[in-house]
């Protein structure tokens, strides 16, 4: 079960199997807000077994250090973004959006660094947390961006796609390519990869969620050939 935690302009996610995991931790200073939201769903601090990061930016890793100080939880990120988490300083990709550039000029993008416990790679299996889900590397926004793909077809993609404008405040279910990315060709290929693996509902770092049909239409993507039987991305 995926619970979207709205933390201002960014989303984190609480996912429950036999154990609970967090996907991303918002900006710095959000630990209390995350724990209050988790508590409302019956999940306490000690129930959270791990924080999995979709990528290494300040608005997705910002409260990880504080959460781990309070309880023993594994901290996981793809090797391609591990240095961002280790240093707490990730230069953001160049943005094609004037508005994003203007806003980011005033934002402190550093955060308290954390040494990761687990380096994620293709096919990393979340069964150890009682979740029917795997990690799919989906580079483009950053080199080490990953998605969490559930056998149900739900997928948490971080900043691979944006929903709407102003961090999802406006038109949150309008699919867009991210306002900043290291490599837009890779972004497109990663979205197509997920569609080919059976992704049907996209949960985003900003705005969302999105239905895959809207993604196909708005982003003019080719209709993917499924690379596995629908809803069972087990062979990645
Ligand atoms: Zn990002
Ligand atoms: Zn973000």
Question: How confident is the model over 86-126, as pLDDT tens digits?
Answer: 999 987 887 777 777 777 777 888 999 999 999 999 999 99
What is residue 230's predicted lDDT score, i.e. its pLDDT?
Answer: 45
Q: What is the CA(95)–ligand 2 centre distance, in A?
A: 13
DSSP string, the chain: -EEEEEETTEEEEEEESSSEEEE---STT-HHHHHHHHHHTT--GGGEEEEE-SS--HHHHTTHHHHHHHS--EEEEEGGGHHHHHHTB-PPPPBS-HHHHHHHTT---B------SEEE-TT-BGGGGT-SEEEEE--SSSTT-EEEEETTSEEEEETSSEEEETTTTEEEEEEE--SB-S-HHHHHHHHHHHHHTT--EEEESSS--EEHHHHHHHTTPPPPPPSSSTT-----
Q: What is the CA(179)–ligand 2 centre distance, in A?
A: 10
Q: What is the CA(74)–ligand 1 centre distance, in A?
A: 21
Overall average pLDDT of the 79-83 stretch: 97
231: pLDDT confidence band, cut at 50, 70 and 90?
Answer: very low
What is residue 20's predicted lDDT score, i.e. its pLDDT?
Answer: 95
Q: Are strands 162-165 and 133-137 parallel, antiparallel or unpaired?
A: unpaired
Name residues whose C-beta falls within 8 Å of residue 212's C-beta, 6 or more positions apart in sequence.
Answer: 195, 199, 200, 201, 202
227: pLDDT confidence band, cut at 50, 70 and 90?
Answer: low
Neighbours of ion ligand 1 (CB under 5 A): 57, 159
Tokens encoding 215: 């993604």
Segment 27-56, tens digit of pLDDT: 999 999 999 999 998 999 999 999 999 999
Q: What is the CA(90)–ligand 1 centre distance, in A?
A: 10
Q: Please give the share of the chain, as a percent, with pLDDT higher than 70.
A: 93
Q: What is the CA(103)–ligand 1 centre distance, in A?
A: 14
Does residue 229 have a pLDDT over 60?
no
What is residue 223's predicted lDDT score, i.e. its pLDDT?
Answer: 58
Overall average pLDDT of the 124-133 stretch: 94
- Tell me the ligand closest to 59's alpha carbon: 2
Q: What is the CA(159)–ligand 1 centre distance, in A?
A: 5
Q: pTM for this one?
A: 0.92
| Residue 185: how many other CB atoms lie within 10 Å | 9
Q: What is the CA(10)–ligand 2 centre distance, in A?
A: 6
What is residue 102's predicted lDDT score, i.e. its pLDDT?
Answer: 77
Choice between 15 and 223, residue whose per-residue pLDDT is larger: 15
Separation in Å, CA 97 to CA 13, 50, 177, 191: 26, 34, 11, 20
Q: Give how far the C-alpha of residue 106 lies from the chain's centroid of Cα atoms, to the nearest Å.
A: 23
Q: What is the CA(229)–ligand 1 centre distance, in A?
A: 31
Separation in Å, CA 38 to CA 12, 16, 41, 209: 11, 10, 5, 19
What is residue 95's predicted lDDT score, i.e. its pLDDT?
Answer: 77
- Tell me the ligand closest to 181's alpha carbon: 1
Q: Please give the share of the chain, as a percent, with pLDDT higher than 90.
A: 75
- Tell me the ligand closest to 162's alpha carbon: 2
225: pLDDT confidence band, cut at 50, 70 and 90?
Answer: low
Q: Mean pLDDT across the chain, nearest whole number?
A: 91
Tokens encoding 203: 């949960």
């Amino acid at each position: 079960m995926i619970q979207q935690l709205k933390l201002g302009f960014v989303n984190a996610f609480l996912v429950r199997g036999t154990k609970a995991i967090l996907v991303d931790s918002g900006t710095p200073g959000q630990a209390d807000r995350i724990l209050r939201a988790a508590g409302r769903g019956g999940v306490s601090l000690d129930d959270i077994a791990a924080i999995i990061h979709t990528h290494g930016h300040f608005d997705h890793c910002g409260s990880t250090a504080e959460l781990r100080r309070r309880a023993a939880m594994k901290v996981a990120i793809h090797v391609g973004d591990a240095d961002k988490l280790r240093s707490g300083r990730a230069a953001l990709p160049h943005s094609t959006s004037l508005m994003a550039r203007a806003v980011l000029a005033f934002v402190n993008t550093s955060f308290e660094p954390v040494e990761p416990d687990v380096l994620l790679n293709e096919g990393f299996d979340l069964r150890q947390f009682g979740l029917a889900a795997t990690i799919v590397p989906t580079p483009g926004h950053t080199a080490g961006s990953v998605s969490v793909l559930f056998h149900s077809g739900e997928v948490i993609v971080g900043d691979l796609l944006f929903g709407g404008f102003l961090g999802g405040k406006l038109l949150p279910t309008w699919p867009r390519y991210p306002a900043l990315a290291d490599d837009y060709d890779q972004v497109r290929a990663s979205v197509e990869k997920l569609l080919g693996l059976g992704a049907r509902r996209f949960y985003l770092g900003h705005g969302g969620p999105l239905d895959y049909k809207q993604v196909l239409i708005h982003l003019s993507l080719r209709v993917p050939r499924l690379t596995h039987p629908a809803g069972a991305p087990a062979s990645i």
